[in-house]
Amino acid sequence: MSLPAYPAYRESGVPWLGRVPAHWNLTRLRFIAHFNPSKSEIGSLPPETEVSFLPMDAIGDDGSLRLDATRPLSAVEQGYTYFRDGDLLIAKITPCFENGKGALAAGLLGGIGFGTTELIVVRPLPGRAVAAYLQWLFVGPDFRNAGTAAMYGAGGQKRVPDEFVRNFVVAVPPPAEQRAIAAFLDRECGKIDALVAEQERLIALLKEKRQAVISHAVTKGLDPSAPMKDSGVAWIGQVPAGWAVLPFKRVARLVTERAADRSFAVGLEHVESWSGRLIETEADFEGEGISFRAGDILFGKLRPYLAKAWLADRPGEAVGDFHVIRVPAPNRPEFFQRLLLSSEVILLIDGSTYGVKMPRASWEFIRNLPIPLPPPAEQRAIAAFLDRECAKIDTLISESERAIALLKERRAALISAAVTGKIDVRGLVPAEEAAAA
């Protein structure tokens, strides 16, 4: 879609802005908004007054707010950040800032809210700034990139300074035009967000299909006409008559040999969940890992990583929280990798995890888990079938992921173009839409 430009521009002298519409006003945010308003404005309220309470996880990356929590004013007036309806909230700590976490406060109980101290509160000054416009400015890539570069601190405690936001230079159109830009972005980004949501739903369906294909193949085989028998195990149900049902320990063992070789190391973060694909190597890990060889299965034993199971195609070292499982011949490790990636097995293992802070899979449970066992030749055929079918599904997932990336790039470019005046939206937005922004 070709979008119109303004009739006249001038140089802003600001690198991220470049040329701006000639009638826009160059200024710093502190001249068009008030920052971190004082709690003294609600000093007359009784201490038992209930107000909305927003911890960081109640503020979405998409501008949404979860308003289910309330607290009495006396419990939050010290040690928390104050705001009210119409204020803009910006998360200042990493990675929340980089992810775009922030929102326009609305629907607060009594119009008043308190929340995490990791927020910068921006209150637009009437007649100078429109909240909906500033909200789009704050989620745009230019503001986020500049803020990320200005962060101070180390590691997970890096923050955007309040002064960075106060002194951020913007080109501000007249209020009516700000409302038009906000309405235009609401509409156009809404369309893009709907397309992204469609692709995300497609990915979810494809992943469900992949799990269904795996689960059916490893428990029912490939021949729909094969005679069946009762396995005697609830999660397995019926299996082909020629299959056995045995505890996992009868066909696999746990590898525990320690090694310090860093020539090829694999960590949990390098294995893709549910697909078992290796994404990258060179794990950053101190201390000894577990030596593995080609054909071993690296199974993530921490609860968040139970769906990670990589079939090694070369020797190396497993670093971090892996069970290294070896399946001696004549059985096929390719089949058992897929079995460990089936949703039923993952759910069973998840239910057996132990520990409070870092729940992990019990090898004792896994080794005694009853599993369906086809003859080795059929294991090989099932593994080859799943390689083909899962590859087709993974290709479709990758295509959808690429489409999402392109849509998000388009969204970011559109926001940047609109808030820097590279496109003139005044004739693209009906008057009633602009008035509502």
Residues with Cβ within 8 Å of 406's Cβ and at least 6 positions away in sequence, in order, are none
pLDDT at 435: 60
Predicted confidence at residue 155, as pLDDT, reads 73
Shared domain check, 270 and 183? no
Pick from 331, 351, 373: which residue ends a domain?
373
User: Which pLDDT score, from 0 to 100, does residue 242 have?
Assistant: 95
CA 146, distance to chain mean position in Å, is 22
- DSSP string over 93-158: BTTTTTTT-EEE--S-GGGEEEE-SSEEEEEEPTTT--HHHHHHHHHSHHHHHHHHHT-BSSGGG-
Residue 353 lies in a domain: yes
pLDDT given at position 3: 86
8 A C-beta contact, residue 90 and residue 119: yes
- What pLDDT score was predicted for residue 19? 96
**Domain that includes residue 309, residue range:** 244-373
pLDDT at 436 (0 to 100): 59
33: Cβ contacts below 8 Å, ≥ 6 apart: 88, 122, 123, 124, 125, 128, 129, 134
Please give the structure tokens belonging to residue 189: 């980004």
The per-residue pLDDT for 328 is: 95
pLDDT in tens, 230-251: 999 999 999 999 999 999 999 9
Is 212 domain-assigned?
no
Overall domain count for the chain: 2
Instruction: Assess whether 184 and 265 both reside in one domain.
Output: no
Of 356, 373, 390, which closes a domain? 373
Regarding beta strands 297-300 and 253-255, do their DSSP bridges make them parallel or antiparallel, or are they unpaired?
unpaired
Do 269 and 350 lie in one domain? The reply is yes
According to the model, what pLDDT value does residue 1 have?
A: 58
pLDDT at 280: 76
Pair (290, 421) in one structural domain: no
- Tell me, yes or no, whether 312 and 411 share the same domain: no
Is the same domain home to 417 and 362? no
Instruction: Tell me, yes or no, whether 399 lies in a domain.
Output: no
Instruction: Detail the DSSP E strand segments found in 178-233.
Output: 228-230
In a domain, 380, yes or no: no
Q: According to the model, what pLDDT value does residue 154 have?
A: 83
CB 122 within 8 A of CB 164: no
Q: Are residues 185 and 279 in the same domain?
A: no
Query: CATH number of the domain that 107 lies in?
Result: 3.90.220.20
DSSP 380: H
Q: Which residue has the tokens 């489409």?
A: 403
Contact 389, 383 (CB under 8 A): no
Phi, psi of 404 (to 5 degrees): -65, -45
- According to DSSP, the β-strands at 50-54 and 112-115 are parallel
Please check whether residues 367 and 415 belong to one and the same domain.
no
Spans of the chain, pLDDT less than 70 = 1, 260-262, 281-287, 431-437
Please tell me the predicted confidence (pLDDT) of residue 285: 60
pLDDT at residue 319 in the model: 87
Compute CA distances 190 → 193, 245, 249, whole Å: 5, 52, 53
Q: Is residue 394 situated within a structural domain? A: no
Amino acid at 300: G
Residues 164, 305 within the same domain = no
Same domain? 120 vs 23: yes
Could you give the CA distance from residue 266 to residue 269 in angstroms, rounded to a whole number?
Answer: 8
* Same domain, residue pair 183 and 256: no
What are the residue ranges of helices labelled H in 221-240? none
Q: What is the pTM assigned to this prediction? A: 0.86
pLDDT tens profile 275-291:
999 987 665 666 678 99
Q: Do residues 24 and 161 share a domain?
A: yes
**Residue whose pair of structure tokens reads 């960075």 in the numeric block:** 164
